[in-house]
Amino acid sequence: MPTLQFVNEDARIVALAVAYHLGRPGSETDPDTLKRHSIGLASVDAMLTPFLGQARIDLDLTPYQIHRLDEALLGVTNELKAYEMAERRSTVLGFGDRLSGLFPELAAGSAEDASALDLVERVVMLRRRLTSSVREANASLQAECDAAAEAAAAAKQARRWWQFWR
C-alpha cells in the first residue's frame, strides 16, 4: 500500500474531501451488488480524524482509495464554489459543519473577507501534488481489471460448449 504524507493543512483538506465524498448518497455502494462496501474512503476518515491536530500525517491507502480520494478532491473543488455562490449553503449532508470545523476562519460570520473560494486554490494545488500517486494507483487498478478480464476469458475458453453445466 502506498503511503501518502500530508502536512496539517493538506490533511484538513483531505478530511473535507472525504466528508464531501461520504456525504453524497451512494458514495460507498458497490455498483455490481448495490450493497455498501468497506474498501472506500470511510476507513480513511476513521484513520485521519484522530490525527488532524498533528503537523504531519502518514496515511496508508490502497490504489482504489487513492483513486477515490482524487475524485473527492475534484468534487470538493466544485462544492466549495457552489457553497460560496449559494450563500454558504450546501446540498451535501454535513458539509458546512465540517468545513467550519476544519477551517474556522471560513465559518459563517467570522470574517467579511474570508471566502470558501480561497480554499479552492489550495485544494487544486494538493490535487496536483498527488498526480503521480494517482497515476500509479490508476495504472495498478487497470492492471487488476485486465488480469480479472483475462482470467474470465480463460475460464470461458476452458469450458466446452457441450459442458453447459460448468
- Residue-wise pLDDT tens digits, 41-84: 888 888 898 898 889 999 999 999 999 999 999 999 999 999 98
Rg of the chain over CA atoms, in angstroms? 20
What is the spatial distance between Cα 79 and Cα 85, in angstroms, rounded to a whole number?
A: 10
Task: Give the pLDDT score at 108.
Answer: 60
Cell 466446452 identifies what position? 160
CB 115 within 8 A of CB 84: yes
Averaged pLDDT of the chain = 85
What is the spatial distance between Cα 147 and Cα 120, in angstroms, rounded to a whole number?
A: 38
What global pTM score does this model have? 0.83
User: Which residues are within 8 A (CB) of 61 and not within 5 positions of it... i.e. 6 or more apart?
Assistant: 1, 2, 3, 4, 44, 69
81-122 per-position pLDDT tens digit: 999 888 888 888 888 889 989 988 877 655 566 788 889 999
Task: Give the pLDDT score at 130.
Answer: 94
Q: Which of 5-9, 49-53, 110-114, 149-153 has the lowest mean pLDDT?
A: 110-114
CB 16 within 8 A of CB 116: no
